Amino acid sequence: MQPLFENKKGLITGVFNKQSIAWAISEQIFSGGGICGFSYMPDKPDDERKKNFSRVSKLIEGNPQAVFVHPMDVTKDEHVENLMAVAKEKLGGLDFLLHSIAFAPPDDLNGDTIDTSRAGFKLAMEISAYSLIALARAARDILNPGASILTLTYYGGERPVPGYNVMGVCKAALDSIVKYLAFDLGARGVRVNALSPGPLQTISGRGAGVDEMLGLYEAMAPLGRNITHEETGRCGAFLLSEMSSGITGEILHLDGGYNIMGSPGRMLDQIKAARS
């Protein structure tokens, strides 16, 4: 069997460091022979160390399968369009596009949803949800037939998860966008899906209270454990590859089965023991 991504080229957004889910997926793509370009959040003008650029460039240093690193502020259309121009120049057509971008102002994320500010809501929704539309539209003319777009979501967009707050609202919008884009791009043979992992130790995960969630998932999930970065990378790569060629508009849950539970499951034994 030929490598999963042999002769395949694509664009990866949202890598922040080695713990990023986007990086776990990238590693699987590299191992399958894929060629990738990367975007990163532009550094502030006064940041002489260029921390954002440095984090990504160090990860791919010396890797011939990583052909460029380019800045993109997803709130600016000209940045998105420029990124796609670079991708077209360096990669030609795109076989896959990974959207791994989300943000909410800390004051709004850490407060109750009812206290979300208007400005915070607008910014969180623009970066976390609308950005998928912006990227898909800008990439539309360079997506090859059979190309796959993947975004990252979370169960907090389907059910209230205390602490996830306004980001859950954004993920609900993102989940719906996946389905509408799947229809819009389906006539071109392009697929759009979402991967919904359980809690992982990432920068964004820690901002959303992942430490508290890890124990809950381990206790409640049918598999009785948390997922790993490697598992997430494999599932993401699957959805970006031709192995999932008949799947579009779907949300794949990767959480040890946590999402299927209608009760605390085996946690009930702990609850009973505590009451006895």
**Residues with a known catalytic role:** 154, 164
Query: Is the separation of the CB atoms in 29 and 36 below 8 Å?
Result: yes
Q: What are phi and psi of 84, to 5 degrees?
A: -70, -30
Query: Is the separation of the CB atoms in 235 and 254 below 8 Å?
Result: yes
- DSSP one-letter string for 36-57: EEEEEPPPPTT-TT-HHHHHHH
The amino acid occupying position 14 is G
Q: How many other C-beta atoms are found inside a 10 Å radius of the C-beta of residue 169?
A: 21
127: tokens are 């970066």
Distance CA 250, CA 270 (A): 35
